[in-house]
Amino acid sequence: MHHEIHEPLGAAQPQPKSSTTGCAFKRSLRCLYHRDLFRQYLFELKVLWKDFKAFACGITARVHQSALDLAQAAGRPYHYLRSSNISKEDWIRDLVTRDPVRQGLIAVLSCVEAGRTFKVYGNRQTQKLELRLESSRCLHLYFYIQYPRWGLVHLRLQTWYPFLIHIFLSGCVCEPEKLTQELSPVAVRQRLLVTHGTLDPLIPFAEVRGQVNTLKTARLRIEWREFVKAHTIIEPELEVIRAFVQAGFVAATPA
């Protein structure tokens, strides 16, 4: 599903990072990214520099174990991916095809990927230990969840300090009837493109088509295109998206 929305349809919302299948929100505990504040945080916990690695690894182990416990309690798989190049979406798509989930946790995936984390180093000049925030590689957890109204949602959690979180929402429209009553004044002037696969195992095709029709009744300028495909992007769909974007540039260019 692809959306090009130039203005919010309803009330103001946090601005997400757009993607071809929905949107993504990034959240973090900002105080844990500031070195001085993080030092104060460790001081309050009475964690010495020399003990930081053991302390941090202990927290990471607890986070990881909680993910394992969550998957086990839900009766859903936990799977470690040996490479960050393996498509997590393809893995989940294959799983859902074999084992459909209408609601709840689909699976928990884990993979070692790049991230920023704190490490303690010795400074030869000062003869003291120092705390540094630097790029590294660490374990990340992916929680894939199927919501009846929102479709596929997944959360990416870095298991090392400072525990960066990404939340990815699908392109499903939540409560379209209510949304049509909260349209911003400029919403009806926007151009929107929605593409969807008739064979999508993750986001119900018929439900999304009904949502789009509901939004169209509110005079939203939605171009709906459907393709015989699963939860992926194919070349004919890219051509439609490309033409839609180019048309937008042409319309915005002064004569």
If asked whether residues 166 and 182 sit together in one domain, one would say: no
Q: Distances in Å between the alpha carbon of 119 and those of 28, 38, 62, 133?
A: 18, 12, 19, 7
Q: Count H helices, E strands: the chain? A: 6, 9
What is the distance between the alpha carbons of residues 159 and 60, in angstroms, rounded to a whole number? 5
Domain finish residue from 170, 192, 215: 170
Domain finish residue from 125, 141, 170: 170
If asked whether residues 195 and 246 sit together in one domain, one would say: yes
The residue among 72 and 191 whose pLDDT is bigger is 72
Mean pLDDT taken over the chain: 81
Q: CB-hemisphere CA count at 13 Å for 223?
A: 16
Q: Assign residue 123 a region (left: φ > 0; alpha: ψ between -120 and 50; beta: otherwise).
A: beta
Would the pTM count as exceeding 0.75? no
Least confident of 6-10, 49-53, 93-97, 119-123: 6-10
Please classify residue 154 by burial: count the beta carbons closer than 10 Å to its beta carbon, then call 0-12 exposed, 13-18 middle and 19+ buried: buried
Residue 5 lies in a domain: no
- The number of residues in the chain equals 255
Domain finish residue from 170, 191, 221: 170
Asked whether the bond before 162 is cis by omega within 30 degrees of 0, the reply is yes
Residue 197 lies in a domain: yes
Which range among 22-36, 120-134, 212-226 has the greatest average pLDDT? Answer: 212-226
If asked whether residues 114 and 216 sit together in one domain, one would say: no
pLDDT at 211 over 70: yes
pLDDT at 12 over 60: no
CATH number, domain at 230? 3.40.50.1820
If asked whether residues 146 and 199 sit together in one domain, one would say: no
If asked whether residues 150 and 181 sit together in one domain, one would say: no
pLDDT at 88 over 50: yes
If asked whether residues 84 and 186 sit together in one domain, one would say: no
Please classify residue 117 by burial: count the beta carbons closer than 10 Å to its beta carbon, then call 0-12 exposed, 13-18 middle and 19+ buried: buried
pLDDT level of residue 29 (50, 70, 90 thresholds): low
What is the distance between the alpha carbons of residues 64 and 80, in angstroms, rounded to a whole number? 12
202-217 mean pLDDT: 86
If asked whether residues 145 and 193 sit together in one domain, one would say: no
121-148 mean pLDDT: 88
Please classify residue 105 by burial: count the beta carbons closer than 10 Å to its beta carbon, then call 0-12 exposed, 13-18 middle and 19+ buried: middle
pLDDT level of residue 200 (50, 70, 90 thresholds): confident
If asked whether residues 119 and 35 sit together in one domain, one would say: yes
Give, as one character, the DSSP assignment of residue 245: H
Question: How wide is the angle at C-alpha 58 spanned by C-alphas 57 and 60, nearest 5°?
Answer: 60
Domain boundaries, position 83: 22-170
Domain count for the chain, please give it.
2
If asked whether residues 35 and 102 sit together in one domain, one would say: yes
Q: What is the pLDDT of residue 128?
A: 85
What is the distance between the alpha carbons of residues 82 and 114, in angstroms, rounded to a whole number? 14
If asked whether residues 73 and 180 sit together in one domain, one would say: no
40-87 confidence digits (pLDDT tens): 888 899 999 899 999 999 999 999 999 999 999 999 999 999 998 898
pLDDT at 20 over 50: no
Residue 101 lies in a domain: yes
What is the distance between the alpha carbons of residues 26 and 253, in angstroms, rounded to a whole number? 33
